[in-house]
Amino acid sequence: MEKFEHEYGADQIQVLEGLEAVRKRPGMYIGSVSVRGLHHLVYEIVDNAVDEALAGYCKNINVTIEPGNIISVEDDGRGIPVDIHPKTGISAAETVYTVLHAGGKFGGDSGYKVSGGLHGVGSSVVNALSNWTEVTIQRDGGIFQMSFEKGKTVKKLERIGDSNKTGTKVRFLADDTIFETLEYEYEVLENRFREMAFLTKGLKISIEDKRQEDIKKAEFCFEGGLVSFVEYLNKNKEKLHQQPIYIEKNGEVPVEIAIQYTSAYSENIYTFVNNINTIEGGTHLEGFKRALTKVFNDYARNHNILKEKDANLQGEDIREGITAVVSVKVKEPQFEGQTKTKLGNSEVTGIVQSMVNEALATFLEENPQVAKAILEKCISASRAREAARKARELVRKKTSMEGATLPGKLADCSSKNPEECEVYIVEGDSAGGSAKQGRDRKYQAILPLWGKMLNVEKSRADKIYGNDKLQPVILAIGAGIGADFDITKIRYGKVIIMADADVDGSHIRTLLLTFFFRYMRPLIENGNVYLAQPPLYKLSKKGMEDIYCYTDEDLANRFKELEEKGIQRDQLGIQRYKGLGEMNPDQLWETTMDPKTRILIKVTMEDAIKADEIFTILMGDEIGPRRAFIEENAKYVKNLDV
């Protein structure tokens, strides 16, 4: 690991702002006070430890969720400096934890803050938003400790013992008066630390969840770095070449890339800047794509795989089936885009492009077998694209001839303003009938679907356009698919999947989500896709209004409430709904469709990597992982939604 020498003491830290501001507007600093914001606290602390690893001084990071949702993070780096600032009389360590923006000065001119997050203000923000924080530092032959409550120092840094080791340990309990919940999700943290370990070759990160008797734990350390990352992403896929292609260059902008092609039809490129997942891409991705297109076309021409008469392969042909991870380190990254996850630094395009041009061209010359396997696939992708174009034109012609672009089964709404319109995609004819009668005609459209769907994981775009199940969905939404998809053309602001809570329902839900994920991804990214949640139970009693319960927990709570009012279980009529078809139009409206009372689950793409893995497992060729996954199916929507 490279070392960035950097000497400084307490006097370089500027006192800027109190932590009250953070407690007043926590959202400004960690995004939200939901469970997502809660997890951010952990990332902020771990980021500091990862920075110490990137500086070349830390090899191990241990994260523990202790009973009571206390987080403990320990590293074996140099330990935060403990010397006293001559003017303020406060130790460097205390400054880092109590002064907002202390980190800015730390990272400032010489080294650069490499891992993500709040650029060194993380520790003070976490401290401000914690009920209590305890920091233990080993360095300079001693053990030092300090503690805080809601950001305020309650025990100043004090030497409590001797030690010949070095490192930092931080324990904190998030403030329950600030966060909606303190329940960490082990899987979410595990995924994040796996990703971080992939991105920092050789760093060992362990996580342990001690909140329950059977302790969950995992340990991640990848000597292969990004190569291990793409192998992991492709573990359930059929590869076109065994060894991932690996490119690394440590110049002004360090670039690291791993690529492996599979027989899949999708394109999966994950990009990172300073270890932050740049979901919206940006200039690094642009440079990578340009180089890929140029190198493969040049190679194909030079080796007569593309003849003179043939047209060039297009970027999308060359990216079919690719899995790649692109990681760059940029000193002053500019983040743009809706979610501030798009790299804007224009100089990065050329840097990435010329380095990939050179390294990839060399690789292909040295590995003609791999080049051939990939190019065969690209060429068949380009043929399929041509076929798809023709199929699409046919659809367009057909629809323009008939004068109506809408599918026959669609019961459209009367409003034409997408912002207020929604379409329910409903499984089965009987439920579709109830939905049509129960809906609010002005805003709600109903599109019934039935029968088994095409498995899009195994199909190319030409089949999708021609498919009689998916065509109505494409036409109803009205914004095209794949590279043609244009989110500004969607006819409904909400696309709501309404299916039963049984196996068939879950199948259709998964198929539709796979389809949206692969062919209308912006729809998910933009937050337009929802799952309707029909009730599982109805409780009724003479003289009492019917009560609908949406989960088993809900049901248990209602029982308790009613018991307190003196109503016992055996006095109630309890109906368990097996399907949407059992509800009459009024009930369906009241429980599942009325915007005032219904529960909708928004499908988000926050964790696209996880989602892709789920789809691959559910839809791919390997049966073992699929079965294992289905047994755990209940978690599925939850994972998507975190």
Tell me the number of residues near ligand 2B7 by CB under 6 A: 21
Which of 502, 518, 529 minimizes the C-alpha distance to 601?
Answer: 529
CB neighbour class for 350 (10 Å; exposed up to 12, middle 13-18, buried from 19): middle
Distances in Å between the Cα of 379 and the Cα atoms of 320, 330, 465 are: 10, 35, 20
Task: Burial-class residue 355 by CB neighbours within 10 Å (0-12, 13-18, 19+).
Answer: buried
The two beta strands, 204-209 and 167-174, are unpaired
- Residue for token digits 């409206």? 589
Q: Which of residues 236-275 bind ligand 2B7 (CB under 6 A)?
A: none
- Secondary structure letter of residue 6 according to DSSP: -
Stretch that binds ligand 2B7, among 164-172, 196-204, 253-261, 511-519 (CB under 6 A): 164-172
Q: Is 535 in the site for ligand 2B7 (CB under 6 A)?
A: no
CB of 52 to ligand 2B7, least distance (A): 4
Asked if residue 63 lies in contact with residue 208, where contact means CB atoms within 8 angstroms, the answer is yes
Closest CB to ligand 2B7 among 29 and 424? 29
Q: Is residue 116 part of the contact set for ligand 2B7 (CB under 6 A)?
A: no
Site map 194..233 versus ligand 2B7, x via CB under 6 A: ----------------------------------------
Take residue 63 and report the two structure tokens written for it: 């994260």
- Applying CB under 6 A, among 37, 77, 282, 534 the residue interacting with ligand 2B7 is 77
Task: Pick the stretch among 41-49, 143-151, 326-334, 572-580 that binds ligand 2B7 (CB under 6 A).
Answer: 41-49
Query: Is 427 an active-site residue?
Result: yes
Query: DSSP letter string over 176-245?
Result: TTTSS-----HHHHHHHHHHHHHHSTT-EEEEEE-SSSS-EEEEE--TTTHHHHHHHHTTTS-BSSSSPE
Between 74 and 358, CB nearer to ligand 2B7: 74
Tally of CB atoms within 10 A around 393 = 11
The binder of ligand 2B7 chosen from 13, 48, 126, 245 (CB under 6 A): 48
Report how far Cα 25 is from the mean position of its chain's Cα atoms: 25
Of 47 and 231, which has the nearer Cβ to ligand 2B7?
47
Dist CA 299 CA 157 (whole Å)? 62
CA 249/CA 327 separation, integer angstroms: 11
Nearer residue to ligand 2B7 within complex by CB, 75 or 606: 75
Q: How far apart are CA 150 and CA 154, in angstroms?
A: 10
Q: Which of 376, 504, 563, 641 is catalytic?
A: 504
Tell which positions 79-108 bind ligand 2B7, by CB under 6 A: 80-81, 96, 103, 106-107
* Residue closest to 460 by CA, chosen among 567, 367, 584, 377: 377
Shortest Å distance, C-beta 79 to ligand 2B7:
6
Nearer residue to ligand 2B7 within complex by CB, 37 or 120: 120
DSSP 448-484: EE-SPPP-GGG--HHHHHH-TTHHHHHHHH-S-SGGG
Residues 4-33 that bind ligand 2B7 (CB under 6 A): 6
Taking 3-state DSSP, the helix, strand and coil percentages for the chain, each rounded to the nearest 5, stand at 40, 20, 35
- Residue 44 as a binder of ligand 2B7 (CB under 6 A): the answer is no
Stretch 555-594: interaction string toward ligand 2B7, x if CB under 6 A: ----------------------------------------
Calculate the dihedral angle through the C-alpha atoms of 126, 38, 631, 521, rounding to the nearest 10 degrees. Answer: -110
Catalytic residue among 427, 462, 525, 613: 427
Closer to ligand 2B7 by Cβ: residue 123 or 274 = 123
169 part of the interface to ligand 2B7, by CB under 6 A = yes
Shortest distance (Å) from residue 149 CB to ligand 2B7: 19
Instruction: Find the shortest distance in angstroms from Cβ 359 to ligand 2B7.
Output: 33
Alpha-carbon distance 196 to 30, whole Å? 19
Tokens of 484: 């043609």
| Alpha carbon distance 189, 207 (integer Å) | 8
The answer to whether 140 is a known catalytic residue is: no
Residue 78 or residue 210: which is nearer to ligand 2B7 going by CB? 78
168 binds ligand 2B7 (CB under 6 A): yes
Interaction of residue 123 with ligand 2B7, rule CB under 6 A: yes
Three-state SS for 127?
helix
Compute the distance between CA of residue 142 and CA of residue 162 in angstroms, rounded to an integer.
4
- The phi and psi torsions of 545 (rounded to 5 degrees) equal -70, 145
Question: In this complex, which beta carbon is closest to ligand 2B7, that of residue 3 or of residue 452?
Answer: 3
> Does 75 participate in binding ligand 2B7 (rule CB under 6 A)?
yes
Closest distance of CB 464 from ligand 2B7, Å: 48
| Residue 140 interacting with ligand 2B7 (CB under 6 A) | no
* Residues 350-379 interacting with ligand 2B7 (rule: CB under 6 A): none
45 binds ligand 2B7 (CB under 6 A): yes
Asked about 502 being catalytic, the answer comes back as yes
Q: Judge contact between 427 and 500, C-beta under 8 A.
A: yes
500 is catalytic: yes
Q: Are 238 and 622 in contact (CB under 8 A)?
A: no
Q: Note the residues at the interface with ligand 2B7 (CB under 6 A).
A: 6, 45, 48-49, 52, 73-75, 77-78, 80-81, 96, 103, 106-107, 120, 123, 168-170
Residues with catalytic function: 427, 500, 502, 504
